[in-house]
Structure 1
Amino acid sequence: MKFEKIKYSELNSKAKEMYNFQKASAKLADYGFTTMWLNNDWQGADFIGVHADGVTDIKVQLKGRLSFSKKYIGKNIYICFIENKEVYVYPHDEVLQQVEHRISDKTYLSTGSWSTPKLTQQNKELLEQYKL
């Protein structure tokens, strides 16, 4: 069998989600985490990361970009997304508190969710500490 690399842009949305999960899992492994995909969102999480220390675990929602949602507030959720081959994993509530005053989008106010398709320089600087 000859292995051929796939073109991410040609994958369907579910295949992209699984691809991103595998890429994020590989990065998290470098930090001592084993990941487990959840077939049904559990407490807002798509997957769980369990640390090798036997104590630390994280609930992670996988997104395609920097995102916030009021439904995740208070659930101790981390958001993970990949941009330009960089993997970001950030604590939702902590980062939301730092940017909420900048979100004036009517969609966020009415639907409770906000995301941006591309990171601004300001957001890159904010997320630098959460880049794996």
Structure 2
Amino acid sequence: MAAFEKIEYRLLNSRQKENYNFQQIAARLADYGFNSIRLTDDWQGADFIAVHIDGETFLKVQLKGRLVIDRKYSGKGIHIAFLHGNELYLYDHDKFVQHLEDSELIGADSVTWHQQGFRSWPSPPSWAIIYLSEYRIAQ
């Protein structure tokens, strides 16, 4: 067997990146008592289910490559998981949207949100990092 060599994430195609991110996130969640079950299709908006060993906590998780909000996830009990560097964030989509609307962080002039129902940030702004700090899953 050849020696193991680390891969370069940037060289992966989009499907490979999604698989890689799932494995990274599932490993991190395992440290917190979650078993992650990958779904073959987006069941009720979820890419995977995270089930806690307490037998009560069950999360429908949508895997993303960045911070996002999307109306298609509203009202479905979806959590969004994304990696930002070495940091993992797993946040309740609807609570985050409510926070954005309550604090007027999405202004009336946001065409992407108000007209298209979608908004993403390639790199989370400082206000988002502050809000998401309670949703950061430490290594």
TM over 0.5: yes
Look up the match of 2:128.
123
Runs ≥4 residues deviating over 6 A? none
Equivalent AA in structure 1 for residue 118 of structure 2: S
Equivalent AA in structure 1 for residue 135 of structure 2: Y
SS in 1 for 2:123: coil
Query: What is the CA-CA distance between 1:65 and the residue it aligns to?
Result: 0.7
Identity in percent: 48
The answer to which structure has the higher helix fraction is: 1
Q: Give the total of aligned pairs.
A: 132
Query: What is the CA-CA distance between 1:110 and the residue it aligns to?
Result: 1.5
Q: Which runs of 5 or more structure 1 residues have no equivalent in the other structure?
A: none
Distance in 2, matches of 1:85 and 1:14, equals: 20
Distance in 1, matches of 2:112 and 2:75, equals: 21
Equivalent AA in structure 2 for residue 102 of structure 1: L
CA RMSD of aligned residues (A): 0.8
Q: Which runs of 5 or more structure 2 residues have no equivalent in the other structure?
A: none
Q: TM-score, normalised by structure 2?
A: 0.92
Q: TM-score, normalised by structure 1?
A: 0.97
SS in 2 for 1:102: coil
Query: What is the CA-CA distance between 1:71 and the residue it aligns to?
Result: 1.1
Look up the match of 1:83.
84
Distance in 1, matches of 2:106 and 2:66, equals: 15
Distance in 2, matches of 1:106 and 1:116, equals: 14
SS in 2 for 1:20: helix
